[in-house]
């Protein structure tokens, strides 16, 4: 970003820009008992502090959540379909569960909210994990069977994300992100990578015959920066972790970009976050320009229209959420002004949620009561909703700028 960008005080987004908020099934629905994560959380030797339990009970309260999206003024809701509910045992597909997600899609439409559907968001059916998860040679066919079964409810969905953060999924077999994992991203496993790429392609083939949706996948895109002297080798480090997946996006209708942070890399790998910088509840550096940097990089590899499918901050200070989001959006706007085709911005997350092992980090625009499940939008929810209505980003004071 340039000095001039930092001095900007407002930015206008296109009238048809899609504004929204995202969630993922396991993180908000509750009682996802046939999944690998449920087993992990409920094992006697569990390696995460919290169980997901009832989560935000969105499995039953989805209509409230979708109504909230609409009331706030947001235009789209990105949510995921839970494979473990659709196919709790191999080959045993549940029509009733498919109907449930079909009702969510209908509910969006009735509320005037565009559904953006994710078909796989980190969790796997337990039976799939027991067969080896994404390492299993049968994984692409199993995923294709699940997508085929779902296709009747996806006919009129405009945006479909096949697999969330395949680049993290491939690095953590049978597993997903835990809070600590991201800064020290392992290199994805080549076998899992190959199966995940094949599953994505098969899903796209099925969906192109069954629906008019724009299809793509959503990449965990970081603002990587080389430590001095490591510039040439950064590309080698980044390729298996990110660029390989962005290259697959070249075949797709769009590339979903999810960006939160920056990571410095030297010959030893990713460096720990410096002691003297502001950090979020995740321990990640507070670095809003990550979004613009990641979008520029993703577009330079994928050459496809971009949909920002996640960006946000874990903080207990909601004013910091507004600051972070405003500055991230300013960087996004600058990328668009430079000609990058960005179709929308979907904030992570609509709700505080189960952050892969812990309820402590709060990413939500909306809080909820753990006993009554009553939802309470935070000021940031109204701020983002207002931005969605006007399309004009007014920056909070000169502050938003360099910190």
Cβ closest to ligand BGC, residue 77 vs residue 363: 363
Cβ closest to ligand BGC, residue 27 vs residue 193: 27
Cβ closest to ligand BGC, residue 140 vs residue 179: 179
Q: Smallest distance, Å, CB 181 to ligand BGC?
A: 9
Q: Which residue has the tokens 């502090």?
A: 49
Q: Smallest distance, Å, CB 90 to ligand BGC?
A: 25
129-134 — which CB contacts under 8 Å span 24+ positions?
129/36, 129/39, 129/174, 132/173, 132/174, 133/36, 133/173, 133/174, 133/175, 133/192, 134/169, 134/170, 134/173, 134/174, 134/189, 134/192, 134/195, 134/196, 134/199
Give the per-residue contact string, 368-397, with ligand BGC (x = CB under 6 A; - = no): ------------------------------
Q: CA torsion angle for 347, 351, 356, 358 (degrees, to 10)?
A: 130
Q: Tell me which residues in 87-126 interact with ligand BGC (CB under 6 A).
A: none
| CA proximity to 217, closest of 173, 166, 174 | 166
Cα–Cα dist 344/22, whole Å: 12
Cβ closest to ligand BGC, residue 11 vs residue 285: 285
By CB under 6 A, tell whether 310 contacts ligand BGC. yes
If one counts every other C-beta atom within 10 angstroms of the C-beta of residue 146, the result is 22
Cβ closest to ligand BGC, residue 175 vs residue 355: 355
Cβ closest to ligand BGC, residue 11 vs residue 261: 261
Q: Smallest distance, Å, CB 259 to ligand BGC?
A: 10
Q: Smallest distance, Å, CB 123 to ligand BGC?
A: 10
Q: Smallest distance, Å, CB 401 to ligand BGC?
A: 25
| CA proximity to 30, closest of 269, 299, 370 | 370
Q: Which two tokens stand for residue 48?
A: 């995460």
- Which residues are CB-neighbours of 329 under 8 A, at least 6 positions away? 11, 291, 345, 387, 393
Q: Tell me which residues in 191-220 interact with ligand BGC (CB under 6 A).
A: 220
# residues contacting ligand BGC (CB under 6 A): 11
Q: Tell me which residues in 332-351 interact with ligand BGC (CB under 6 A).
A: 348
Q: Smallest distance, Å, CB 349 to ligand BGC?
A: 7
Q: Smallest distance, Å, CB 254 to ligand BGC?
A: 17
By CB under 6 A, tell whether 40 contacts ligand BGC. no
Cβ closest to ligand BGC, residue 14 vs residue 272: 272
Cβ closest to ligand BGC, residue 246 vs residue 334: 246
By CB under 6 A, tell whether 13 contacts ligand BGC. no
By CB under 6 A, tell whether 36 contacts ligand BGC. no
User: Vertex 360, ends 355 and 362: CA angle to 5°?
Assistant: 70
Among positions 21, 24, 142, 294, the unique one binding ligand BGC when judged by CB under 6 A: 24
Among positions 87, 242, 352, 355, the unique one binding ligand BGC when judged by CB under 6 A: 355
Cβ closest to ligand BGC, residue 177 vs residue 202: 177
Q: Which residue is nearest to ligand BGC (CB)?
A: 24
Cβ closest to ligand BGC, residue 24 vs residue 291: 24
Q: Tell me which residues in 176-195 interact with ligand BGC (CB under 6 A).
A: 177
By CB under 6 A, tell whether 164 contacts ligand BGC. yes
Cα–Cα dist 273/226, whole Å: 14
Q: Smallest distance, Å, CB 121 to ligand BGC?
A: 6
What does the binding site for ligand BGC look like in residue numbers (CB under 6 A)? Answer: 24, 27, 164-165, 177, 220, 258, 310, 348, 355, 363
């Amino acid at each position: 970003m340039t000095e001039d960008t930092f001095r900007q005080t407002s930015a206008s987004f296109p009238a048809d820009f899609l504004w929204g908020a995202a969630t993922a099934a396991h993180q908000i629905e509750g009682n996802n008992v046939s999944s690998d994560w449920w087993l992990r959380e409920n094992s006697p030797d569990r390696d995460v502090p919290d169980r997901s339990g009832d989560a935000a009970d969105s499995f039953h309260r989805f209509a409230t959540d979708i109504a909230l999206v609409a009331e706030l003024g947001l235009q789209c809701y990105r949510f995921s379909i839970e494979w473990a509910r659709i196919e709790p045992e191999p080959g045993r597909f549940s029509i009733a569960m498919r109907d449930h997600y079909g009702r969510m899609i209908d509910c969006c439409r009735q509320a005037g909210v565009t559904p953006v559907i994710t078909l796989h968001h980190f969790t796997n059916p337990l039976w799939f994990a027991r067969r080896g998860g994404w390492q299993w040679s049968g994984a692409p066919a199993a995923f294709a069977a699940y997508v085929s079964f779902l296709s009747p409810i996806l006919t009129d969905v405009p945006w479909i994300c096949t697999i969330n953060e395949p680049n993290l999924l491939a690095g953590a077999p049978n597993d997903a992100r835990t809070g600590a994992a991201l800064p020290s991203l392992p290199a994805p496993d080549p076998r899992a990578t190959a199966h995940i790429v094949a599953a994505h392609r098969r899903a796209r083939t099925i969906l192109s015959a069954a629906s008019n949706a724009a299809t793509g996948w959503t990449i965990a895109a970081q603002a990587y920066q080389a430590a001095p002297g490591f510039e040439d080798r950064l590309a080698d480090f980044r390729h298996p972790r990110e660029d390989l997946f962005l290259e697959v996006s070249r075949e797709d209708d769009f590339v979903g970009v999810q960006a939160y942070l920056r990571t410095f890399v030297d010959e030893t790998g990713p460096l720990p976050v410096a002691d003297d910088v502001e950090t979020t509840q995740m321990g990640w550096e507070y670095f809003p320009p990550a979004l613009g940097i990641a979008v520029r990089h993703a577009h330079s590899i994928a050459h496809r229209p971009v949909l920002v499918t996640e960006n946000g901050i874990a903080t207990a200070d909601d004013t910091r959420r507004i600051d972070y989001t405003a500055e991230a959006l300013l960087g996004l706007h600058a990328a668009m002004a430079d000609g990058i085709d960005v179709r929308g911005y979907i904030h992570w997350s609509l709700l505080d949620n189960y952050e892969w092992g812990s309820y402590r980090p709060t990413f939500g625009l909306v809080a909820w009561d753990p006993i009554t499940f009553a939802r309470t939008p935070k000021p940031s929810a109204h701020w983002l909703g207002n931005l969605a209505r006007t399309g004009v980003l007014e920056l909070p004071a000169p502050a938003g700028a360099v910190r």
